[in-house]
Structure 1
Amino acid sequence: MSVAEKLQRKEMRQTSSRQVRLKLVYVDVWSLVKLTFLIWLCLGIVLLVASVLIWVVLYSTHVFDSLDKTIRDVLNQPEFSIEKSFGIGQVALFAFIIAVLNTLVGTALGAVSGFIYNLSVRFTGGLLVGFQNQ
């Protein structure tokens, strides 16, 4: 008997599935704050890495040189350079500042949403969640 036949026989067996319905009536705000902090921290790291990688790709494909030439022709400014105006350090610093602000604001919004949910449970009775055992 092959493995495929054994698996097929297992699927044909009827298993009793039991469904449980639970209400979520309380969210621990501190746990929610920790979770949202970690999520926004990871997203901030992704933002920082993506910003630097996009800058490196644009620099290595000479997109900045093409834009410099076009802007110099349009504005008649021979000294203009995008690389000097928006260097990799400035881009990384700006992305870092935005990531820190997003982390702070996202964490605060997570705490506020936990408080709001706990207050709204008094009026709505909570969130009904169904689980099934397979």
Structure 2
Amino acid sequence: MSTSVAEKLAKKSNKRQNTKQVRLKLVYIDFWSALKLSFLAAVAIAIITVVFFFLVYTVLQQTGVFEQINNLFKTVAGKEAQDGNDLTAIFDLGRIMGFAAVLAILNLVVVTALGAISAALYNLAVKVTGGVLVGFTNN
């Protein structure tokens, strides 16, 4: 006797599943845990920032966008640009990656501090509000 897949699914849907639901209040966030987690997130963002700047620079360099901008600058500036002012010297890989590194370090400090401040502010707000009610189930 062969049963179809639809019949098996119908039999399963008629069964009542015993799902247990639990409601808990989040009343405290550990400061050091939030600090470490925000630091790890900031490290990931810093790595993404540096890789992003490198990839964008490489694409713009390979497509010749910097050369076109430099030619436009020389055309608009005229004689002053012919005396050695060159935009490609300003937009070299070393300066772009240096800027990306400085931006990544600044971002690292800011994101870590924001994570720590957020945890501290949440812990202060819990004293007034009583916390956030969170529901969990065992599905």
Alignment partner of 1:97 out of 94, 102, 124: 102
Matched residue, 1:115: 120
- What is the one-letter code of the residue matched to 2:117? V
The runs of 4+ residues in structure 1 deviating greater than 6 Å are none
Tell me the distance in 2 between the aligned counterparts of 1:39 and 1:10.
Answer: 46
- What is the one-letter code of the residue matched to 2:69? L
Supply the RMSD in Å over aligned alpha carbons.
2.1
Residue range with higher mean Cα deviation, 86-95 or 73-82:
73-82
- What is the one-letter code of the residue matched to 1:130? G
Q: Per-residue deviation at 1:71? A: 0.9
User: What stretches of structure 2 of length at least 5 have no aligned partner?
Assistant: none
Identity level (%): 38
TM-score normalised by length of structure 1: 0.90
TM-score normalised by length of structure 2: 0.87
Q: Per-residue deviation at 1:7? A: 7.5
User: What stretches of structure 1 of length at least 5 have no aligned partner?
Assistant: none
1:1-42: CA deviation from partner (whole Å, max 9, x where unpaired):
79x669836852431112111100000010000000000110
